[in-house]
Amino acid sequence: MMQDIEKEPEVAGIFSQYFEEASFPAATIIGVADLPIIEGKQALVSMEAFVALP
């Protein structure tokens, strides 16, 4: 399941705090069945990114 991040306003809203509007990256959300359990708590979100290095 893949969708545009703007369809998830809660995540997109937090994104806008970390990325300037002019350099907002392409972002997709993928629904996955499982994520790691850390310190006994379920991780609800995980991220990965491609970065252009200067």
Partner 1 sequence: MKEVSRPGQESYFELLLSAILIGVTCMWLGSCFVIHDAYYVDRQVYYTQNPFSPNATGTDYISKAFRSVAFVSAQLPLNATDRSVMEDLHNQTNQTLINLKRAVTNAGGFMRNVLKVTVYLLVQLVDDAGYRERA
Residues that bind partner 1 (CB under 8 A): 1, 3, 5, 8-11, 14-15, 17-20, 22-23, 25-39, 41-54
Nearest to 12 by CA among 33, 28, 30, 32: 28
- Rounded CA gap, 19 and 41, in Å? 28
**Pick from 31, 6, 7: nearest CA to 21:** 6
User: Minimum Å distance from CB 9 to partner 1?
Assistant: 5
Least CB distance from residue 30 to partner 1, whole Å? Answer: 5
